[in-house]
Amino acid sequence: MGLNSYSFRVRYAETDQMGVVYHGNYAQYFELGRVEWLRAMGITYKSMEDKGIMLPVISLHIDYKKSAVYDDLLTVRTKLTSKPLVKIAFDYELVNETGELLATAHTVLAFMDKSTGRPIKCPDYILEKLED
């Protein structure tokens, strides 16, 4: 269901003195995957926020397999795990340019009304795009 790939290069600032990507940066890589997954459907975080919807992460799980290093060309593969209701869940794979699996992850986010801070159901315009 809804697979998207997005590639980017590791920047020097994302690494430690040994040129290895700091583990905390992987969450940002998976966020890139999620943002680009939405963008591929014609939806941006900004457009959702402009419509009064926030999408905070409520769960993040990462399994590290191998280190990414400075200047690696990485690809994050983002896949929707099921039809979203009040929550939306994604699985991720992060690979380098030779196809080695570096990390896998799973996130769960909740649709929230920006003005009340309360959970809401997935907007119809997102559900409609998933049916296309």
Count Cβ neighbours within 10 Å for each residue of 30-54 and write b for 16 or more, e otherwise. Answer: bbbbbebbbeebebeeeebeeeebb
| Active-site hit among 16, 50, 71, 113 | 16
In total, the chain counts a number of residues equal to: 132
Residue 16 appears among annotated catalytic residues:
yes
With vertex at residue 48, the alpha carbon angle to CA 122 and CA 81, rounded to the nearest 5 degrees, is: 45
In this structure, the strands spanning 87-95 and 73-80 are antiparallel
Active site residues: 16
